[in-house]
Amino acid sequence: MSVIPKSLVRALYRRLPAGVATRLGCASWLGRLLYARHPDLRWYQCQYGLRLQLTGDEAVSNGVAQLGCVHPAETALVIGALRRYSGIFVDVGTSVDGWHGLVAASMGHKVVAFEPTARQHYRFIQNVIANGLDGSVISRRCALSDHVGECRIEDNGPVSMVSASGRGESVRCSTLDAELACVDTLPISVLKLDVEGHEIRVLNGAAQTLKRTSCILMEACSAYQDRCKATAPELIERLRSVGFSPYGISSAGEIWPWTLEHPSETLNVWFVQNTALKSADEGVLP
């Protein structure tokens, strides 16, 4: 009896419609065939009654092993905004855990998530189903940019990014405006954006999305400016120009009104639509 090569199975899987692929990919036997299980993967019990499947290194680096929560300062801001605003949570770049999306879904919010790499998308869906949240989460395997078509993604373990060299896996590419117009027209309570240097192109394809968004959590890293064709200050000024006020979040959890004099390090920035500034006492602002 001949054995079907794994490469062929993966190629056929990627051609399936998104909904069918998600369910088949999460079947334990097919998941093991498509994406070899990392020997260090285990389940971690976290805050808010959630469980995450992570490697030991991932659990330590994002705080789950020590605190049972991914980046507590950011999580507190997200929860404050979700309590204040009705609407959906949009997660662009879920990585392997999709923590904030899981928190939003557990609070009763509808979640629309985007992750381009097959391996990380599969692991995110495993976390969604393990927490019984698949009825609240729409997860799409595609890259987001400023055009509709295809692009190449480099999957470098814990980090995946749009390829600047033309190498990597070819995946479907779309804009945030196009994807959300097909999914929902509700207001967006929080948009989380973590795309490893592709931020400006995602924002270029999200003009209508930003108009109905209350808060944004975005990573701004000066080290990615060559890939992104925009420096961290330029990205932040771009969102300021369409009505958002920025607040810096340091790795130590310190939060402050963002200025051009901030340290040139990897920085998570919390943006609040100016029309929402009145809700400072409810956790939307520092």
pLDDT tens for each residue of 75-109? 988 999 999 988 999 999 887 679 999 999 999 99
Domain ranges in the chain are: 1-37, 70-282
In the predicted model, what is the mean pLDDT of residues 36-50?
Answer: 82
Terminal Cα-to-Cα distance of the chain (whole angstroms): 63
Is pLDDT above 60 for 153?
yes
248 or 8, which is more confident: 248
Write down the pLDDT at residue 128.
Answer: 94
Q: 70-282: which CATH topology?
A: Rossmann fold (3.40.50)
Q: How far is residue 38's CA from residue 25's CA, in Å, rounded to a whole number?
A: 16
The SS3 of residue 253 is coil
Is pLDDT above 50 for 23?
no
pTM: 0.81
Write down the pLDDT at residue 158.
Answer: 54
In the predicted model, what is the mean pLDDT of residues 257-263?
Answer: 65
Is pLDDT above 80 for 279?
no
Write down the pLDDT at residue 237.
Answer: 85
Give DSSP secondary structure letters for 58-125: HHHHTTHHHHSSSSHHHHHHHHHHHHH--SEEEEE--TTT-HHHHHHHHTT--EEEE---HHHHHHHH
Percent above pLDDT 70 for the chain = 69
Q: What is the mean pLDDT of the chain?
A: 78
